[in-house]
Structure 1
Amino acid sequence: MINLSGKPQIMKKVNNGLIKQVIKEKGSATNAEIVEDTGISATTVRTLLSKLILDKEIVNLGLDESSGGRRAERYALNLNNNLSLSFYVKDNSINYALSDALGDIIESKTIKFKKTEYQKTLTKFIDEIIKKYTIKIIGIGVSGVVDRGNYFSGKHLNNWKKINIGEYIEKKYNIPVVLENDLNAMAIGFSLNYIKEIDNLDIKSINVVYINFTEDGVGAGIISNGQLIRGENNFAGELGFMPISKQGNLEYLLSNNPDDKKYVEIVSQVINILNCIINPAFIVMGGSILRTNLIDEIKEACNIYAANNIISKIMLSENGAKDYLQGITYLTTEIMNSDVRIVKL
């Protein structure tokens, strides 16, 4: 457990985050409602609300209608002054979304660029966004293991490359940057999009594994009881390195173009392992090289070997790009509203 006592500036940021989270969840809130939901003293809440108004983080909506006593002032997030920029780069394209403090996407586009002009295009893109909007935080989806402002990527453990895109952008623009693994973002995005269709699902309790099959490798985003599973070194979900047999790991076996029968055997084995260890409600599969024509055979094979006939619901991802951007946007907005990032040193 991280001890925050004796650190007034950190506690102030934590309390600000709690206040903004209550206002976000309720849509608007009074001083009394914030005190009740956060447990912060009324005096402290009043002081922090005044500062948040001065900083244009929130706005005063005026007085509530009278219910017989003194009318209470109501506050809401300042949606026009608290925007986040979220994006990921794929196939010579920058896919981005601008979202307000409630996480609602107000603009979403794709920008094409030449491979040789990647950094120039990226810098120009951010420059134009910052000139037009007040950006409080930038979230970037990356394919690899995240380490603060950097990430490591590669198909083999002994030749991973370190890429410092987060550090570069944060130093250049003096705006906080959050890096998130692409599969984690996809898992969150899928969950958010899927629960809109299911009334009794809640993002805070959902259990999902999102597996992506691409030419760059096989990985998974894992959510257990509403929490992203990152692992000690942010290595959780790197399924490509999972040893499958004496012949090699998952990445090696799939890269050797196995026949359909062998492919079904390999993929169903991975799913059953995940089912036994994590027991998710849903296992979602997608990606450019997934053999979607074999999904029924994969399901049948999983049912045959399922322990005690317990097996996750296996689904195909309908729109991985949408899930990806939605996930980055959600995670970035949550961090923007929390006001503090606690990291391991």
Structure 2
Amino acid sequence: MRQCNCNLVKWFLLSNGSATKPEIAEATGISLMTVGKIVNAMLEEGTLLRSGLRESGLGRRAERFELDGNRSCSVSLRFRGVGVDFVAANEFGAVVREEFMPMPEGYLVAELAPKLAGFLDGLPPMRTAVAGFPAAVFGGRLHSGGLRQFRQMDVQRELNALFGIPVWMGRDLNLATVGYSRRGLAPMALETPELQDITCFLLDPAGHGAGCMAGGRVLRGADFFAGEVGRMPLPGGRCIRDLVADDVPDEEYIAGVAYLLGAVTCTVNPRIAIFSGRSVRPALLPEIDRRLRQRIGFHWEGEGNVCPELVWEPDIWPFYRAGMVYRATRRLHSGVQMVDDVF
């Protein structure tokens, strides 16, 4: 019971910033006496900081308290063919350090050890780590994408050995979708994002895929195959990845992408469809949108067309990074988390 009460206090402060003892007691339902004991214990162990005084309802000044967000950090890695992006965030999810580490072609996880040591120098202790890959991730392994050197190895085991702690692995577009959904919200914020139905498409010579969120939940599928849209078959024996190549005429490109969007709309019905990557032709998106709405003309009574809004994002890294930091921060506080997250 004591641990549960401590977790309630931490969760409230993570979600609301600073508070007085009476405010904590009122919000959590814990008695003021018990809150006082918990706060004093957390002050002694260094978990809490005093953050000044505030006028109380009784006309007296009451002391406010907040969690120390710099006692530890999380580290997130974005794996790319040319290197790895390192991102460190404090306990509140604020990025405190970011660096790109170039790596030779075909690099392995173990080669990151000196890079990681240098990156962590001067940071508070690392307590959780997240890794994002441009590939389908399942069972600690990569099952697609261009990082072929990782295909035949247990990447999960390699990462755990590198960091010395369990590392969470995920697909890049799933993480970007989460980051886009939570724009403007802190990782531990209790507010529900307004945008909870999103599909993020990457059309690029290096790979084709999608990250889908429906009802605020990331879709992975039974075999974590969800999002492999480049393999989607089209009439005539070709796939989507064939119809977005540079040498494909605009009309074929429009027809192929509209076909893809039609299938996604009728399956998961996103509110917004984000496009990124070098194979996207932004100037054609208005015509693709028109063609899509022509094919799927369904309207709810008094509402607009069910087709998603099409958005061109030349760089999804800000959303990808936000998704990784969100996941890392939630893992950092998994012991006090009162609600399930989008993963």
TM-score normalised by structure 1 residue count: 0.78
What is the deviation of 1:210?
Answer: 0.6
Moved over 6 A (4+): 40-44, 340-343
Q: Structure 1 residues 154 and 55, CA, compared in 2 at 3 Å: closer, same or farther?
A: farther
Aligned partners of 2:74 and 2:328 also within 8 Å? yes
Matched residue, 1:333: 329
Matched residue, 1:136: 127
Matched residue, 1:245: 235
Q: Is the aligned partner of 1:222 residue 2:212?
A: yes
Structure 2 CA distance for aligned equivalents of residues 80 and 140 of structure 1: 22
What is the deviation of 1:327?
Answer: 1.6
**Alignment RMSD, CA only?**
3.6
Q: Structure 1 residues 297 and 330, CA, compared in 2 at 3 Å: closer, same or farther?
A: same
Aligned partners of 2:113 and 2:162 also within 8 Å? no
Structure 1 CA distance for aligned equivalents of residues 33 and 263 of structure 2: 53
Structure 1 CA distance for aligned equivalents of residues 240 and 41 of structure 2: 53
Aligned partners of 1:275 and 1:311 also within 8 Å? yes
Q: Which runs of 5+ in 2 are unaligned?
A: 299-304
Matched residue, 2:317: 321
What is the deviation of 1:328?
Answer: 0.9
Q: Structure 1 residues 36 and 331, CA, compared in 2 at 3 Å: closer, same or farther?
A: farther
Aligned partners of 1:83 and 1:136 also within 8 Å? yes
Matched residue, 1:165: 155
Matched residue, 1:184: 174
Structure 1 CA distance for aligned equivalents of residues 17 and 194 of structure 2: 19
Structure 2 CA distance for aligned equivalents of residues 320 and 207 of structure 1: 17
What is the deviation of 1:115?
Answer: 2.3
Matched residue, 1:270: 260
User: What is the total number of aligned residue pairs between the two structures?
Assistant: 325
Q: Which amino acid aligns with 2:172?
A: D
Q: Which runs of 5+ in 1 are unaligned?
A: 1-7
What is the deviation of 1:297?
Answer: 2.4
Aligned partners of 1:206 and 1:224 also within 8 Å? yes
Structure 2 CA distance for aligned equivalents of residues 164 and 40 of structure 1: 46
Aligned partners of 2:77 and 2:132 also within 8 Å? yes
Q: Which amino acid aligns with 1:310?
A: V
After superposition, what is the alpha-carbon deviation per residue over 1:279-304, rounded to whole angstroms, capped at 9, x for unaligned? 22211011122233422321221121
After superposition, what is the alpha-carbon deviation per residue over 1:140-169, rounded to whole angstroms, capped at 9, x for unaligned? 111223336x1322269xxx9354333323
Structure 2 CA distance for aligned equivalents of residues 54 and 163 of structure 1: 45
What is the deviation of 1:253?
Answer: 5.3
1:102 match: secondary structure: coil
What is the deviation of 1:80?
Answer: 1.6
TM-score normalised by structure 2 residue count: 0.79
Structure 1 CA distance for aligned equivalents of residues 122 and 138 of structure 2: 30
What is the deviation of 1:314?
Answer: 0.4
Structure 2 CA distance for aligned equivalents of residues 118 and 171 of structure 1: 13
Aligned partners of 1:209 and 1:280 also within 8 Å? yes
Matched residue, 2:165: 175
2:78 match: secondary structure: strand
| Structure with the bigger percentage of helix | 1
After superposition, what is the alpha-carbon deviation per residue over 1:25-60, rounded to whole angstroms, capped at 9, x for unaligned? 211134444455455676776666566555544434
Q: Structure 1 residues 75 and 166, CA, compared in 2 at 3 Å: closer, same or farther?
A: farther
Map of 1:276-291 to 2, 5 A cutoff? 276-291=266-281
Percent identity of the aligned residues?
23
Q: Structure 1 residues 207 and 333, CA, compared in 2 at 3 Å: closer, same or farther?
A: same
